[in-house]
């Protein structure tokens, strides 16, 4: 009997968490639209930092593509980002371009949960380890040749 009650409580918490994740990701998508058409050469991205159900930071890619949404949200959140959840609409970059990798900034902020909507299909991100360094949070970065071969039959 007690296990059934605990199971029901866990299921309820899980449903509430999923609903909150959807709500915050929708908000991040809305923030990302603020930069649409003005962020070239970067995509328009939105980011929300949530701690204990309260938004403590938000950001979107600024005109000209810098700063990136994640960095802007982390700056806005300050120390409150530690232990919070970062919702971002595009997997943070893990390569050096005109700015350092956002993935490194996110990792150093110690946000334990980092859901993101999509991964980029840009070869430079995957070639520098975007698939492994940010998605699974392992270092050192790997090169494309070190990644497992994709099998389209699976």
Catalytic residues: 70
* CB-based burial label for 84 (10 Å; 0-12, 13-18, 19+): buried
> If you write DSSP's letter for every residue of 72-124 in order, what string do you get?
HHHHHHGGGGTT-EEEEEEPPP-S-SSS--HHHHHHHTT-SB--EEE----HH
């Amino acid at each position: 009997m007690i296990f059934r009650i605990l199971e029901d409580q866990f299921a309820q918490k899980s449903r509430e968490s999923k609903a909150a994740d959807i709500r915050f990701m929708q908000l991040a998508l809305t923030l990302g639209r603020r930069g649409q058409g003005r962020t070239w050469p970067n995509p328009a991205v939105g980011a929300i930092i949530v701690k204990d159900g309260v938004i403590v930071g938000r950001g979107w890619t600024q005109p000209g593509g810098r700063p990136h949404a994640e960095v802007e949200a982390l700056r806005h959140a300050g120390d409150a980002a530690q232990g919070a959840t970062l919702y971002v609409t595009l997997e943070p970059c893990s390569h050096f371009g005109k700015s350092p990798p956002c993935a490194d900034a996110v990792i150093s902020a110690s946000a334990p949960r980092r859901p993101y909507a999509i991964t980029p299909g840009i070869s430079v991100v995957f070639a520098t380890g975007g698939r492994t360094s940010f998605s699974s949070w392992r270092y050192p970065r790997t090169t494309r040749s070190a990644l497992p071969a994709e099998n389209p039959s699976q």
